[in-house]
Amino acid sequence: MAQYDFKKITVVPTGNDLIDIVLSRTQRQTPTVIHKGNAISRVRQFYMRKVKFTETNFTDKLSKTIEDFPRVEDIHPFYGDLLHVLYNKDHYKLALGQLNTARNLIKRIREDYVKLLKYGDSLYRCKSLKRAALGRMCTVTKRIGPSLAYLEHVRQHMARLPSINTGAPTILICGCPNVGKSSFLNKITRADVEVQPYAFTTKSLFVGHTDYKYLRYQVIDTPGLLDRPLEDRNIIEMCSVTALVNLHAAILFFLDLSGSCGYSISQQAALFHSIKMMFRNNPVLIVCNKTDLQTLEGLSGEDLKLVMEMKSAALKTIPVSTITDEGVMAVKNAACQRLLDQRSERKMKSKKMPTVLNRFHVAMPKPRDQKERPVCIPQAVLEARAEEAAHEERKTEKDIENENGGAGVYSASLRKHYILADDDWKLDILPEFLDGHNVYDFIDPDILQRVEELEREESAVEEDGGDFEIEDEDFTAEAEKDLQEIRKRKKLLIQKHRIKKSTAESRPTVPRKFDKDRKFTTERMGRQLSSLGIDPSRAIERARSRSVSRKGRKRERSVGGDGSVLSQRPLGEVVPGEGFKDSAQKMKAVTMARNATKKRNKDARRGEADRVIPTLRPKHLFSGKRSIGKTDRR
């Protein structure tokens, strides 16, 4: 039997989406340009193509959807029933029918309009016809919008249905709610179904797979059943009923002995008898679950009787506890074995069997003599096995961990198993740094010895006393004083020179011969010479004898005299307009002027005729914005 794949159904677009898709396709994939001036046949062809193209697209998409969705009659009755239970067969069929009708309508529209277009006489008419055609197709599609939405919904749900192979050997788990069906499924397969204390935790069918004797078995977990007539059942229960009825499987009816599911054994027995007829000839096993809470033997007489009644209808009864794993494997093996047996029986009964059987023959060797030859296991192996069995009570690290709070709380002490010379050292804290050194770099069994050697070395060096130091010739006190004097004088010289150098730009360097500060006097010379230790009298005499006469130097002469060669008047003459009373006053004025300038000139200081900037920082240059340019530099 085929494995149905409901996931492969293409997405069903909504009505508007479908229209958009098809129309945009038409716009993109057909030529878009046509003119009034073109030949009429071209115009007709152009528009006919569009109509045909749109129709094909619509039909294609609708056909695809119709074909993808499974037909309820054609599939396995289990799926048919399941689809009916979940989606209502009628509604489903109706929706698909609507799609089909729409498809036909669109086809009809296209035929009509293409016929009309053949006789269109102008571009405008053809265009209108095309517009009408496309418009009608779109209206049709809009009308089936709700069906499309419903089908999309169905498709999404179908894709999520568990993939149950109707032909594979199956085990079906059923029973009252909360009896432990899902926990059983979790135990035997890798499925991870939610297990909760409230009823109807499982709301749909769940599939797991398990292996037995190299064959894969499907295990289906169903939602719990309540003891109700069929008409009153809700969708969830109907799912499990469908499964029960339609699938050929080994049925495990779960019974809760303790009644902790909320239903007493009598209620469960009633349920069993009401669904008994659904079992038909499927092998049934009664699984008595929750034996950790209540064992089979501990049941009261009435309950036991009920259980026995159920047993008569079934093959076997097996006590099980899913929490302690007791009996779980037994159930699985029993169910699987039963299914296997059934299969082999069926195979044997089929017509093909003899042909197969005739093909092979198992040869059994004839016994040579009557000697018994049992299995031979060496004694040592038997002893080892016995020992192992006895030793299984060893306490493992895992047990210790579990005792002390579990994985997150307890961390195993790795130091316990250290092999050290002295067991007291196991819990020592090992220092890693000391005074900025790594302790591990210094570890050496004979470190002390070497340190001792070092210390001996050190003390030997000290005793040695270092080198002999030959001190150089030392200075006398006088020489020291002289040295200091020399250094002081040198410093002074340097300072003077620096001053001279630094201010040379800002003032005129008067040549030495003018002696502005009166440095070059004989007194000074005398003082300096005597500080050097020489008698200065002779030098002073000599200097004085060689000095310039009182007549004056060239500069002084030129102040008053030769300048008047150019002017034709005598000096004291009063010129009208100058403002002097008489020549005496003028002479006085001239003398005053001369006196004023004489000193200044001798000192080479700035005078009236020298260049002067009256205002160093005129306001118009140093303030205000400029109409063009920057004012970075002022």
Q: Is there binding between residue 471 and other proteins (CB under 8 A)?
A: yes
Q: Is there binding between residue 532 and other proteins (CB under 8 A)?
A: yes
Stretch that binds other proteins, among 114-122, 313-321, 482-490, 494-502 (CB under 8 A): 482-490
Q: Decide whether 372 or 424 has the Cβ nearer to other proteins.
A: 424
Give kind and range of the element (H or E) at residue 219: strand 215-221
Count of positions on this chain that bind other proteins (CB under 8 A): 61
Alpha helices in 533-567 (DSSP H): 537-546, 554-560
- Phi-psi region at 579: left, alpha or beta (left = phi > 0; alpha = psi -120 to 50): left
Q: By three-state DSSP, how is residue 114 classified?
A: helix
Stretch that binds other proteins, among 20-28, 295-303, 306-314, 426-434 (CB under 8 A): 426-434
Q: Is there binding between residue 452 and other proteins (CB under 8 A)?
A: yes
Q: Are 185 and 173 in contact (CB under 8 A)?
A: yes
Q: Is there binding between residue 37 and other proteins (CB under 8 A)?
A: no
Task: Compute the least distance from the CB of residue 327 to other proteins, in Å.
Answer: 53
Q: Is there binding between residue 423 and other proteins (CB under 8 A)?
A: no
Q: Decide whether 417 or 550 has the Cβ nearer to other proteins.
A: 417
Task: Compute the least distance from the CB of residue 479 to other proteins, in Å.
Answer: 4
CA gap 464, 466 in Å, rounded? 6
Q: What is the DSSP letter of 5?
A: -
Q: Decide whether 421 or 566 has the Cβ nearer to other proteins.
A: 421
Q: Is there binding between residue 469 and other proteins (CB under 8 A)?
A: yes
Q: Is there binding between residue 520 and other proteins (CB under 8 A)?
A: no
Q: Is there binding between residue 470 and other proteins (CB under 8 A)?
A: yes
Q: Is there binding between residue 505 and other proteins (CB under 8 A)?
A: no
Stretch that binds other proteins, among 39-47, 95-103, 255-263, 463-471 (CB under 8 A): 463-471
Q: Decide whether 483 or 504 has the Cβ nearer to other proteins.
A: 483
CA gap 55, 106 in Å, rounded? 6
Residue 253: phi and psi, rounded to 5, are -90, 120
Q: Decide whether 362 or 430 has the Cβ nearer to other proteins.
A: 430
Task: Compute the least distance from the CB of residue 523 to other proteins, in Å.
Answer: 18
| HSE-CB for 267 with a 13 A CA cutoff | 17
Q: Is there binding between residue 447 and other proteins (CB under 8 A)?
A: yes
What is the four-CA torsion angle of 579, 583, 586, 591, rounded to 10 degrees?
A: 180
Cα radius of gyration (the chain)? 62
CA gap 203, 443 in Å, rounded? 69
Q: By three-state DSSP, how is residue 47 classified?
A: helix
The site map against other proteins for 356-375 (x = CB under 8 A) is --------------------
CA gap 485, 487 in Å, rounded? 5
Looking at the DSSP bridge assignments, the partners of residue 216 are 211
Q: By three-state DSSP, how is residue 212 classified?
A: strand
Q: Is there binding between residue 494 and other proteins (CB under 8 A)?
A: no
Q: Is there binding between residue 608 and other proteins (CB under 8 A)?
A: no
Q: Are 163 and 172 in contact (CB under 8 A)?
A: no
Task: Compute the least distance from the CB of residue 531 to other proteins, in Å.
Answer: 8
CA gap 225, 176 in Å, rounded? 5
Q: Decide whether 534 or 593 has the Cβ nearer to other proteins.
A: 534
Instruction: Tell me how many degrees the CA angle 604-610-612 measures, rounded to the nearest 5.
Output: 120
Q: Is there binding between residue 459 and other proteins (CB under 8 A)?
A: yes
The site map against other proteins for 371-400 (x = CB under 8 A) is ------------------------------
Q: Which residues contact 25 (CB under 8 A, 6 or more apart)?
A: 53, 57
Residue 327: phi and psi, rounded to 5, are 85, -5
Among 421, 548, 609, 612, binds other proteins (CB under 8 A): 421
Task: Compute the least distance from the CB of residue 215 to other proteins, in Å.
Answer: 54
How is residue 106 written in tokens? 């669109």
How is residue 412 written in tokens? 């195993």
427-446: contacts with other proteins (CB under 8 A): 428, 430-445
Q: Is there binding between residue 94 and other proteins (CB under 8 A)?
A: no
Q: Is there binding between residue 448 and other proteins (CB under 8 A)?
A: yes
CA gap 518, 430 in Å, rounded? 86
Task: State the residues that interact with other proteins by CB under 8 A.
Answer: 418-422, 424-425, 428, 430-445, 447-448, 450-452, 454-455, 457-459, 462-463, 465-466, 468-476, 478-479, 482-483, 485-487, 489-490, 529, 531-534
